[in-house]
Chains A and B, each alone.
Chain A
Amino acid sequence: MDGSDSRRRTRWVGIVSLAVARLWRRAMHTRSGRIAATVTVVAVTIGLLVTVTGVSLALADGGAVSDDDGDITVTPAESATLSAVDGVEGPRLGDTNARTETIADADGVDHASPVLVEPGQLEAATEGEERRTVLLVGVVPDDEPRTVAGLPTDDLEPGDSHYGDGSYDGPPNGEIVLSAAAADRLEAEEGDELAVPAMEGATGSGDVSLTVAAVDDASDDETPVALVHLSELQSVGGAADGQLADRVVVWGDDDAASAAASEAYPDAAVDSGATANPASLFDDGLAFAASLLALLVGVVICTSFVATTAGMTVEDDRQSLAVLESVGIEQRGRLAIVAISTLVTTICGAVVGIVLGFAGIYAVNAVAGATIAPGLVAHSHPAFVPYALVVAVLSGLIAMPYPLVLAAKTSVLEEVSR
C-alpha cells in the first residue's frame, strides 16, 4: 500500500470516527429527542416486523405438530391452496405407506415414516365424559428413540400392524401417547382408555378405543398433541383411501435420505428437517402474504421516518456542516458524515427493534396461550436478526438521498454569517 492509499484510508477512518463521535456525544450529552425518536420509531417498526414474521412463520410451519427430529422432510409442493386457517384443507401426499417403505429401504436411510395430522375429539371411555379436541398425529414408529410432533415415538409399539400391506385389516395396536397438554385437556393418565369417534370418511368400523401408552411430561409445548399409529389414524380419519399423509419424515444420512425421498416423491418439496425453516414462508400463501405485507409496511414506515428525521437533523445541523466546509472538509466527507449518522441511527433502532421483536413473539405466545390458542402462534428464528438488520439498512439507504441533498445545499456563507 503506498502513501496515498494509506492517507486515504486514514482520512476515511477519521471521517467515520468523527461522524460516530458527534452522534455519540449528541445522543449522550444533549437532549437529543430527535435521535431518540428515530431510534424508537425504527425499533417499533422493526419489532413489529419481526413479530409479524414470527407469526407468519408459525402459520407456515404448522406449529408444534411439525416439531420432528428427522433429517429430511417431504411435503407437498407449493399449491394454490391457502392455509387451513380459512377451513380449506391443505394438500397432502398420497401413497405414503408404500413409498415410505421404499425410502426406508434405501442405503443410508435409518427410518422413514409418513406423518398424518388430524384434529380429533377424544373422550374418556367412561360414560358421560365430554369430548375434547386434540391434534392426533399418526406415525410409523420403530424401536429407536425419535421425535415426531415433539413426542417420543418409541413409546408406541414398533411397526404399524393395522396397515396389513394396504388392506387396513391387521390388528390395531390401540395405543396413544399424550403430550402433557393433551393429558391435561383430557384429564387422562397412563393406562386410561380413550375413545376416538369415527370421522367423516372413516373406513373403519366406528369408534376406536385407545389406551394411553405414555404421557410425555417433558413436553412443555401447550399444544395438545397425541401420537398414534399411522394406519389407525388413517382409518378413523378417512385418509386410508390413497394412503394420505401430511408429510414424510426421513432419518439417516442427509444426502442418502434426500436422494431416496426425491426419487419416491419427485414432485414434492424435500427439505432438511430443521423446524421453523424460514423458507417455509414461501410455501404458504397466507403466511407469505402476511410476512410480505409486514416487510413492505416496515420498509415504508422506516424509510419515511428516517428520511424525515434525518432531514430535520440536517436542517438543525447546517451550521456545523458549514463549519466543516470552512475548515476544509470536502463535500464527499461532509456527506459521508451525514450518511453515517443516518445509518448508525437506523441500525441502532434495528438492534433495539430486534430485541423488541423477540420480546413481541414471546408476548404474543404468552397472551395467545393464556387466552385463545393452545400452543405457539409465533416462532422465533436466528435468521430474523440479519433479516431485520438488512431491512433497516435498506430503509436507511432508501431514505438517504433526502438528507444528502439537503446537506449538499448548505450555504457556508449563509451559515457562518449568522
Chain B
Amino acid sequence: MINRLLGLSGRSASRTSDEEGETPAVRLGSVTHEYGATGARFGSGRERTVTALDDVSLEVQSGETVGLQGPSGSGKSTVLHAVAGLLVPTDGSIELLESDLSALSARARTRVRRRHVGIVFQRFHLLPSLSARANVALPLVQEGVPTSTRRERATALLEEVGLGDRATHLPSELSGGERQRVALARALAGDPDVLVADEPTGELDTDTGANVLELLTSVGRDRAVLVASHDDDTLSVADRVVTLRDGRVIDDGR
C-alpha cells in the first residue's frame, strides 16, 4: 500500500527478478569483520582486535523476513550495519541487489543505502529539532525530491503508520511507540528493497512493541527484512531465525 502511495518505480525491477528466484536481495559471503585492527595498542605493544563477524554467510530473499538472534556481542548489529553499508567488512563480500557494497566508495554506499535500504534503530534516532514529518522526509532531501512532494509522501507515510495527526509534532512530544513508528515511516520513505531493524521493540512496552511489530510485518511483506533482537516475540514475525554466537552463524534457520 505504501509503495502505491510513494509511486516509486526503483524497486519493481529487482522484485521481479527476485520473484523469479534468480538473485537474493541480500547475500553475505564469508564475511569477517574485526574491530580494532588499526585501533589502540596495549601495554604489551601487541595490537588487540575483536572479531565481530567470523566467516558469516547469509542470504535473504525479497519478501523474506529473517530474524537474527544471539547474546550481546554475538554480531547481530554488525550484520545489520554491514548490510546497510555503514561498515565495510575486513574480509568477504556483501551483495545488495547484485551490487558488491564492499567494492563501493563511501559516497556510493551512501547512495545505495539511501535508495535501497531502510534502517530502524532501537533508540529511534529521530532528529530532535525536526517535526515528525520532516524526519520522515529526510531521506528524500538528498534525492532532490521537491518540497511539496516530500511533504505529501511523508504525510502519507505517517498516515500509514497511524500518525497522520502527529505530523507537526517534535519527537519530544511523542511517546516511545509513536517515535518508533515515525522511525519506521522514515525507513520506508525511499521505498527500500531491504529493511533492517535493530532491536525495534527494545525500548517499548509489550503492547506498543506488538503494534510496531505488526506494522513492520505489514510493510515488510514484499521486502527483504532483517530484524535483530533478543526478544522471542519480536523474532516470531520472522520467516526464519538465524542464530549467531561469537560472530559466527551457528544456525541459519533453514
Contact of B144 among A8, A25, A26 (CB under 8 A): A8
Instruction: Give the docked Cα–Cα distance between A160 and B126 (Å).
Output: 82
Top 8 A-B residue pairs of the complex, sorted by shortest distance between their CB atoms: A328-B114, A7-B144, A11-B144, A14-B141, A25-B129, A10-B144, A327-B139, A22-B129
B129 to A30, Cβ gap below 8 A?
A: yes
B186 to A327, Cβ gap below 8 A?
A: yes
Q: How close is A299's CB to chain B, nearest CB, in angstroms?
A: 30
- Of the four ranges (under 10, 10 to 19, 20 to 34, 35 or more), the interface on chain B belongs to 35 or more
Q: How close is B215's CB to chain A, nearest CB, in angstroms?
A: 19
In the complex, chain A residues whose CB is within 8 Å of the CB of B130: 18, 21-22, 25
Residue A17 lies at the interface, judged by CB distance under 8 Å to chain B: yes
Residue B190 lies at the interface, judged by CB distance under 8 Å to chain A: yes
Instruction: Give the docked Cα–Cα distance between A327 and B140 (Å).
Output: 9
How many pairs, one residue from A and one from B, have CB atoms within 8 Å of each other in the complex? Answer: 97
Q: A14-B150, A21-B130, A29-B170 are in contact. Are A416 and B142 (CB under 8 A)?
A: no
In the complex, chain A residues whose CB is within 8 Å of the CB of B129: 21-22, 25-26, 29-30, 320
From A244-252, A268-276, A329-337, give the one contacting chain B. Answer: A329-337
In A296-318, the 8 Å CB interface with B consists of none
A-B contact pairs, 24 of them (CB 8 A): A6-B144, A10-B146, A11-B142, A11-B143, A25-B170, A29-B170, A30-B129, A320-B129, A323-B125, A324-B127, A325-B110, A326-B86, A326-B119, A326-B125, A327-B119, A328-B111, A328-B113, A328-B142, A329-B142, A330-B110, A330-B111, A333-B141, A416-B86, A416-B125
Instruction: Give the docked Cα–Cα distance between A330 and B138 (Å).
Output: 12
In the complex, chain B residues whose CB is within 8 Å of the CB of A17: 147
Residue B58 lies at the interface, judged by CB distance under 8 Å to chain A: no
Residue A413 lies at the interface, judged by CB distance under 8 Å to chain B: yes
Q: A319-B125, A325-B110, A328-B111 are in contact. Are A413 and B87 (CB under 8 A)?
A: yes
Residue A398 lies at the interface, judged by CB distance under 8 Å to chain B: no
Instruction: Give the docked Cα–Cα distance between A167 and B126 (Å).
Output: 89
Known: A14-B150, A328-B111, A328-B143. 9 other contacts (CB 8 A): A7-B143, A8-B144, A11-B141, A14-B140, A322-B125, A327-B119, A329-B110, A330-B142, A416-B125
In the complex, chain B residues whose CB is within 8 Å of the CB of A323: 125-127
Q: A319-B125, A331-B106, A413-B87 are in contact. Are A326 and B142 (CB under 8 A)?
A: no
Residue B115 lies at the interface, judged by CB distance under 8 Å to chain A: yes
* Chain A residue with Cβ nearest B123: A418
Q: How close is B225's CB to chain A, nearest CB, in angstroms?
A: 17
In the complex, chain B residues whose CB is within 8 Å of the CB of A6: 144
In the complex, chain A residues whose CB is within 8 Å of the CB of B146: 10
Residue A188 lies at the interface, judged by CB distance under 8 Å to chain B: no
Instruction: Give the docked Cα–Cα distance between A264 and B110 (Å).
Output: 71
* Chain B residue with Cβ nearest A11: B144
Bits for B103-134, please: 1 = Cβ < 8 Å to A, else 0.
Answer: 00011001101110001010101111110001
In the complex, chain A residues whose CB is within 8 Å of the CB of B113: 326, 328
Residue A106 lies at the interface, judged by CB distance under 8 Å to chain B: no
Residue A352 lies at the interface, judged by CB distance under 8 Å to chain B: no
In the complex, chain B residues whose CB is within 8 Å of the CB of A331: 106-107, 110
In the complex, chain B residues whose CB is within 8 Å of the CB of A320: 127-129
In the complex, chain B residues whose CB is within 8 Å of the CB of A14: 140-142, 144-145, 147, 150
Instruction: Give the docked Cα–Cα distance between A333 and B139 (Å).
Output: 12
In A371-418, the 8 Å CB interface with B consists of 412-413, 416-418
Residues in chain A within 8 A of chain B (CB atoms):
6-11, 13-15, 17-18, 21-22, 25-26, 29-30, 319-320, 322-331, 333, 412-413, 416-418
In the complex, chain B residues whose CB is within 8 Å of the CB of A11: 141-144
* Chain A residue with Cβ nearest B81: A413
* Chain A residue with Cβ nearest B113: A328
Residue B219 lies at the interface, judged by CB distance under 8 Å to chain A: no
In the complex, chain B residues whose CB is within 8 Å of the CB of A412: 86
Q: How close is B38's CB to chain A, nearest CB, in angstroms?
A: 13
Q: How close is A223's CB to chain B, nearest CB, in angstroms?
A: 53
* Chain B residue with Cβ nearest A323: B125
Instruction: Give the docked Cα–Cα distance between A417 and B189 (Å).
Output: 22
Contact of A328 among B81, B115, B123, B127 (CB under 8 A): B115
Residue B97 lies at the interface, judged by CB distance under 8 Å to chain A: no
Instruction: Give the docked Cα–Cα distance between A11 and B2 (Å).
Output: 23
* Chain A residue with Cβ nearest B187: A327
Bits for B169-185, please: 1 = Cβ < 8 Å to A, else 0.
Answer: 01000000000000000
Instruction: Give the docked Cα–Cα distance between A17 and B151 (Å).
Output: 13
Q: A8-B144, A416-B121 are in contact. Are A328 and B139 (CB under 8 A)?
A: yes
In the complex, chain B residues whose CB is within 8 Å of the CB of A7: 143-144
Bits for B130-168, please: 1 = Cβ < 8 Å to A, else 0.
Answer: 100010001111111111001000000000000000000
Instruction: Give the docked Cα–Cα distance between A328 and B111 (Å).
Output: 6
Task: Determine which residue in A14, A17, A30 has the highest number of CB atoms from chain B within 10 A of its CB, and name it.
Answer: A14
Instruction: Give the docked Cα–Cα distance between A26 and B81 (Å).
Output: 30
Task: Determine which residue in B106, B107, B110, B139 has the highest number of CB atoms from chain A within 10 A of its CB, and name it.
Answer: B110
* Chain A residue with Cβ nearest B145: A10
Residue B79 lies at the interface, judged by CB distance under 8 Å to chain A: no
Q: A13-B147, A29-B170, A323-B127 are in contact. Are A328 and B77 (CB under 8 A)?
A: no
Instruction: Give the docked Cα–Cα distance between A26 and B107 (Å).
Output: 29
Instruction: Give the docked Cα–Cα distance between A339 and B77 (Å).
Output: 32
Instruction: Give the docked Cα–Cα distance between A325 and B121 (Å).
Output: 13
